[in-house]
Amino acid sequence: MKITINGIEREVDPSRSLLHICEEAGIRVPTLCYDERMKPEGACRLCVMEDKKRDELVVSCATFPKEGMVIETDSERVHKSRKGTLDLLFSNHPNDCLTCGASGACKLQDYCYEYGVLDGSYRSGAQRKAPVDTSNKFYDFDPYKCILCGKCYRMCQEVQCTDAIGLSNRGFTTKIATPMEEGLANSRCVSCGNCVAVCPTGALLPKNQNFRYFDVKKTRTTCSFCGVGCQIDILTKNEKIVGVEPHLGTKANDGLLCVKGRFSWHFVQHPDRLKEPLIKENGRFREASWEEALDLVASRMKQIKQDHGPDAIAGFSSARCTNEDNYLFQKLLRAGVGTNNVDHCARL
């Protein structure tokens, strides 16, 4: 079918939402609650567009085109509506951007700057203030910074399928909560941190996050905790790792991580971490080169095989390796050493 967007007639797919159509056409539309991995919620009302034919504002993430539609994505009416929505959201949000851990990666901050919202016009009214939930071992939840976009609980329910959090109460008292409001530590939360990754504000943040996003460098790499191949962004500051985030749009994980991949990066800089191979001599370990260490292992395996036969040797591989690495490992044992004594830490 054909519709008109910003004065240009376009042939569009009726199964695609107006937001999708605009994105594919290179038209930028602000969103706070939208995520293509989840069903459209239409909660933030920031992606509104003006339907000139029906003389109304429509939520583009949940509205599909109709023949002959005339859409304006950034008219004066649309701009006024978006600014009003941001004003309402910011009125019930702390004005602490200078000290917030999400500064530089907060979509609410970005849009308030873009639409000229300097401070909330309704701060004299009621506020949804509540204590910060610090019960989780890896991240904190600040209800005062929550804008009820719903991305966290939808991620938990629709994508992660854990159902640890949801919406509680109605109207102005609506809030994100765990069942029976017993706190994250006593919920079904598996600490994957995927809710943290999709939060558009600083309501959900890793514990002890002490950097500004303006100061960090992102480097894409592969998580080393298993063989799935999840893609991650390593956050570094002054040549040191300060955090890890999932990389969106990749086939292996598409922006998802487990608790290890998201939060267990501190070992990299631990003082007890082994950085070189160690060879034990006279009851004490000494550092050695990889060439020396591998030569020693090869010579000892040859000697053991010669003295006691190949079945005196066994191999134990790791789930952290790729399938290809594990294939080569078992081939080394079977074809090289001549034994079937090979096992894997994830077998059970």
**To the nearest whole percent, how much of the chain has pLDDT over 70?**
100
Give the CA radius of gyration of the chain.
27
pLDDT at residue 144, as a whole number = 96
pLDDT in tens, 241-266: 999 999 999 999 999 999 999 999 99
CB-based burial label for 192 (10 Å; 0-12, 13-18, 19+)? buried
pLDDT at residue 348, as a whole number = 62
* Mean pLDDT value across residues 59-75: 96
Classify 2-74 by CATH class: alpha beta
pLDDT in tens, 274-309: 999 999 999 999 999 999 999 999 999 999 999 999
Residue spans per domain, the chain: 2-74, 309-348
Asked if pLDDT for residue 212 goes beyond 90, the answer is no
Six token digits for residue 54: 């029906």
Six token digits for residue 348: 């059970």
**To the nearest whole percent, how much of the chain has pLDDT over 90?**
87
Asked if pLDDT for residue 180 goes beyond 70, the answer is yes
Of 32, 54, 56, nearest in space to 45 by CA:
32
pLDDT at residue 174, as a whole number = 94
**Average pLDDT value for the chain:** 94
Classify the C-alpha dihedral 172-96-262-28 as positive or negative. Answer: positive
> What is the pTM assigned to this prediction?
0.87
Vertex 103 angle, CA 221 and 234, to 5°: 10
pLDDT in tens, 27-45: 999 999 999 999 999 999 9
- Calculate the CA dihedral of residues 278, 281, 285, 291 and round it to 10 degrees: -20
- Residues 102 and 200: their CA atoms lie apart, in Å, by 9
pLDDT at residue 319, as a whole number = 80
pLDDT at residue 125, as a whole number = 86
Q: What is the DSSP string of 290-348?
A: HHHHHHHHHHHHHHHHHHH-GGG--EEE-TTS-HHHHHHHHHIIIIII----EEETT--
* Half-sphere CA count of 314, side-chain side, radius 13 A: 5
